[in-house]
Structure 1
Amino acid sequence: MWNEIVNNETLKEFNEKLSYFHDSCIKEIYYLSGAYVDENLEMYPINDCRNLRVIIQCQNEDEPMIEMEFQDLKYLKLFPMDPHYTCEILDSTILLKEDCIIWCDCENEKNVESENDARIFICAAKLRWRSISGYMGNKKFFKPVK
């Protein structure tokens, strides 16, 4: 069941349920643009979907794994840590704006408008999320094409 972030109340419930993403990590990311080339090599070059799905795993007994879907993606900044550093998320900020929602992996006190301190910065028109079970560990959620 999908849960939509639509106001400050649903945002607060989401943040509290995930402990503000403390001790969590991004496990997988999947992006669907809407553009494609069909079997006749004709192109549909319009990004009319722009959905980003992010799988998060947490050290949280109540909610160890979730999927977030950012709809009508406006912006994605992703600077993954190299293998010499840890990539856990210690805190996050989610802002509801008039025309978008912003999620980033920096503290609430920081100015996320500038995004300078964020390794991950996502801006989209909408955000919804759901609990996932059965895929903890390194099992892939988004299945590769065979």
Structure 2
Amino acid sequence: MWNEIRSEQDIRDFMDKVYAFHDSCIKEMHYVSGASVDADLRMHPLNDRRVLNVIIQRQFEDVSMIEMEFAGLKYLNLSPVDEQYTCEIFGSTLLIKDRDIYWCDGQNVSEDDIEDYDRTIICAARLRWRAIDGHMGNGEFYKSVYLE
């Protein structure tokens, strides 16, 4: 079941439920732009979908895996650390500013500083989330039928 984030109260309830993503990691992302080229090589050159889905896994028994769907994606800055460092999220920030929703992998980032955040950050028009059961581990959640 999807849960919409529409208000400050929705943000508080969600972030309390997931402990601000403490002891979590970004596992996967999947992006659909809406642009495409058909079999006759006609292009639909509009990013009219702009949907980013993010899978986060947590070291908690309750709501261990979460899918966040950012619709109307405005930007994504992905800054993964390399294998010499660990990538745990110790806390994150979720806020609404100027009718856009922002999520970043750092805690206590203020509304004034959010647009200058230089690690992983997502900005979109809408956000919804859901708990995912039965998919913990390193197996891919977003599998391509073309890879098998």
Q: Report if the CA contact (8 A) 1:91-1:105 is conserved.
A: yes
Count matched residues: 144
The equivalent residue for 2:59 is 59
Aligned to 1:83, the other structure's residue is in SS state: coil
- Report the TM-score, using the length of structure 1 for normalisation: 0.95
**What residue ranges of structure 2 are gaps of 5+ in the alignment?**
none
Q: Report if the CA contact (8 A) 2:8-2:95 is conserved.
A: no
Structure 1 residue 103 displacement after superposition: 0.3
The equivalent residue for 1:113 is 115
Alignment deviations for residues 92-117 of structure 1 (CA, whole Å, 9 cap, x no partner): 0111123200000112155323213x
Letter in 2 for 1:79: S
Question: 1:122 and 1:61 mapped to 2: Cα distance?
Answer: 26
**What residue ranges of structure 1 are gaps of 5+ in the alignment?**
none
Question: 2:41 and 2:116 mapped to 1: Cα distance?
Answer: 41
- Report the TM-score, using the length of structure 2 for normalisation: 0.93
Cα RMSD over matched residues?
A: 1.1
The equivalent residue for 2:21 is 21
The equivalent residue for 1:3 is 3
Q: How does 1:96-135 map to 2 (within 5 A)?
A: 96-109=96-109, 111-116=113-118, 119-135=119-135
Detail structure 1 runs of 4+ shifted over 3 Å in the superposition: none
The equivalent residue for 2:31 is 31
Aligned to 1:113, the other structure's residue is in SS state: helix
Over 3 Å counting, the alpha-carbon distance change for 1:108 and 1:45 in structure 2 is same
Q: Report if the CA contact (8 A) 1:69-1:128 is conserved.
A: yes
Q: Report if the CA contact (8 A) 1:106-1:112 is conserved.
A: no
Question: 1:91 and 1:107 mapped to 2: Cα distance?
Answer: 5
